[in-house]
């Protein structure tokens, strides 16, 4: 479902922003594409209506209709079987969506380095001269920073009072998690991640009434256009929804109250003169260990997680607030661990860790266990 959503979103972007490659008139004069499988069945098709300036797209059993501004390739509205979306612009630059679903509407604006959603403070991503993320700010507050070594490798991710250091050793990638200067845990991660966790709800489990083993119970379903993720519990009761624009999500509870942003971290540098296009990305060795998603709540400390964690990696870290005290919490992922929510080890002071179950998302990103 997510792959489909990415495809459809890419299609709209091509139509909306590639005016330099195809004129408005040529776009409407060109017939839509059709794709058939080996048996001749239509699996994908575009139906253009130049009189009404709409494009209907059929993909994997669902129709989505794109409405354009008259005589243009500028998308104004999208209607799907489960959502409708208003496209928002700054001049001709598409930078926002208002998504209507479940009787509610959520608006998000985002650029390559900024995001702001209903009821949430704006976030800003700061980058260095090589276009690598170096800090994330919520309003004027810095919630995360990233440090690199001379070779361009990520060496430290700092989130509030937590720091996560990385060191590549012959026996694997060593991680050291500290909080307020105290070492909480050292792990050695090996291999590559085999399972995908499309979201993390760790920082809001208490607020949403979830158990620590929530990964094995929640289901995440994407809308036909990919703009909305609907999160439900094991009994199919809605518990949250996430609006997506580009690589940024804005999460809300079922009453529409804002929860957090979820954004992708970018560690890859732009090529410098003399660099080879085929040269290795210095961050590749940390795949499955380096957190690639950052959660920025409306208030409080940020958290981070690895969407496809490697065996033995710290796959999620966050801060839990209770009884006026702050507790650093984290998850150590083990491929072979059973989903029982039992403690794996007892690090010192305020740290805790829990086993992540052996989970493999289904087609709608629901849980399943291997035997």
On the CB side of 366, CA atoms within 13 Å amount to 9
C-beta atoms surrounding 56 within 10 Å: 15
Domain residue limits at 74: 2-81
Residues 127 and 240 in one domain: yes
Residue 369 belongs to some domain of the structure: no
C-alpha span between 222 and 240 (Å, rounded):
12
Tell me: do 199 and 303 sit in the same domain: yes
In order, the DSSP letters of 203-270 are GGHHHHT--TTGGGT-EEEE-TTSSEEEEE-TTS-EEEEEEEETTEEEEEETTS-EEEEEEE---PPP
What is the per-residue pLDDT across 293-332, written as a single tens digit (0 to 9) for each? 999 999 889 999 999 999 899 999 998 776 667 788 898 8
pLDDT digits (tens, 9 = 90+) for 38-49: 999 999 999 999
The answer to the question of residue 166 being in a domain is yes
- Among 64, 81, 98, the domain-final residue is 81
In three-state secondary structure terms, 25 is helix
Question: Is 164 inside any structural domain?
Answer: yes
Together in a domain, 193 and 72: no
Question: What's the predicted TM-score (pTM) here?
Answer: 0.84
pLDDT range class, residue 347, cuts 50, 70, 90 = very low
Do the domain assignments include residue 177?
yes
Q: pLDDT category, 276, cuts 50, 70, 90? A: low
CA count, 13 A, side-chain hemisphere, 275: 13
Cβ–Cβ < 8 Å for 150, 284: no
User: Who wins on pLDDT, 118 or 328?
Assistant: 118
122 & 76 share domain: no
CB 236 within 8 A of CB 250: no
Report how many domains make up the chain.
Answer: 2
Among residues 81, 108, 140, which one ends one of the domains?
Answer: 81
Tokens of 326: 């702050």
Q: Is 94 part of a structural domain of the chain?
A: no
Q: Do 129 and 276 have their domain in common?
A: yes
pLDDT in tens, 9-31: 444 434 443 334 467 889 999 99
> For 239, what's the count of Cα atoms within 13 Å in the CB-facing half-sphere?
21
On whether both 147 and 253 belong to a single domain, the answer is yes
Nearest to 271 by CA among 152, 166, 157, 155: 152
Q: In this predicted structure, what is the pLDDT of residue 361?
A: 30
Q: Which of 63, 81, 99 is the last residue of a domain?
A: 81
Provide the pLDDT for residue 319.
86
- Tokens at 71, concatenated: 């005589």
Q: Which residue has the tokens 């942003």?
A: 261
23 and 154 in one domain? no
Shared domain for 45 and 124, answered yes or no, is: no
Terminal Cα-to-Cα distance of the chain (whole angstroms): 25
- Report the pLDDT value the prediction gives residue 234, as an integer from 0 to 100: 86
The reply to whether 101 falls in a domain is no
Residue 317, helix vs strand vs coil: strand
Q: Are residues 196 and 67 in the same domain?
A: no
In a domain, 69, yes or no: yes
Are residue 73 and residue 126 in the same domain, yes or no?
Answer: no
Would you say residue 334 lies in a domain?
yes
């Amino acid at each position: 479902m997510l792959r489909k959503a990415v495809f459809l979103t890419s299609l709209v972007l091509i139509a909306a922003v590639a005016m330099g490659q195809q004129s408005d008139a040529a776009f409407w004069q060109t017939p839509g594409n059709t794709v058939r499988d080996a048996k001749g069945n239509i699996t994908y098709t575009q139906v253009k209506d130049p009189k009404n300036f709409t494009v209907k797209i059929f993909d994997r059993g669902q129709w989505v209709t794109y409405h354009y501004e008259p005589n243009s390739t500028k998308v104004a509205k999208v209607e799907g079987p489960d959502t409708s979306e208003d496209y928002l612009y700054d001049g001709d630059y598409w930078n926002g969506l208002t998504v209507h679903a479940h009787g509610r509407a959520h608006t998000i604006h985002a650029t390559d380095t900024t995001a702001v959603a209903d009821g949430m403070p704006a976030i800003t991503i700061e980058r260095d001269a090589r276009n690598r993320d170096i800090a994330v700010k919520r309003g004027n507050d810095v919630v995360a920073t990233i440090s690199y070594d001379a070779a361009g490798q990520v060496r430290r991710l700092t989130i509030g009072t937590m720091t996560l250091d990385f060191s590549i050793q012959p026996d694997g990638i060593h991680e050291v998690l500290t909080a307020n200067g105290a070492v909480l845990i050292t792990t050695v991660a090996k291999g590559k991640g085999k399972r995908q966790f499309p979201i993390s709800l760790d920082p809001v489990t208490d607020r949403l009434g979830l158990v620590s083993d929530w990964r094995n119970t929640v289901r995440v379903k994407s809308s036909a256009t990919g703009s909305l993720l609907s999160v439900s519990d094991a009994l199919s009761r809605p518990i949250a929804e996430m609006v997506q624009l580009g690589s940024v999500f804005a999460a809300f509870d079922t009453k529409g109250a804002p929860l957090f942003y979820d954004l992708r971290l970018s560690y890859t540098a732009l090529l410098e003169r003399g660099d080879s296009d085929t040269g290795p990305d210095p961050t590749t060795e940390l795949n499955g260990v380096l957190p690639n998603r950052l959660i920025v709540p409306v208030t409080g400390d940020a958290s981070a997680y690895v969407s496809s964690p490697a065996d033995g990696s710290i796959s999620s870290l966050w801060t839990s607030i209770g009884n006026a005290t702050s507790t650093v919490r984290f998850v150590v992922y083990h491929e072979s661990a059973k989903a029982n929510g039992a403690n794996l080890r007892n690090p010192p002071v305020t740290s805790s860790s829990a086993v992540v179950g052996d989970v493999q998302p289904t087609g709608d990103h629901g849980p399943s266990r291997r035997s």
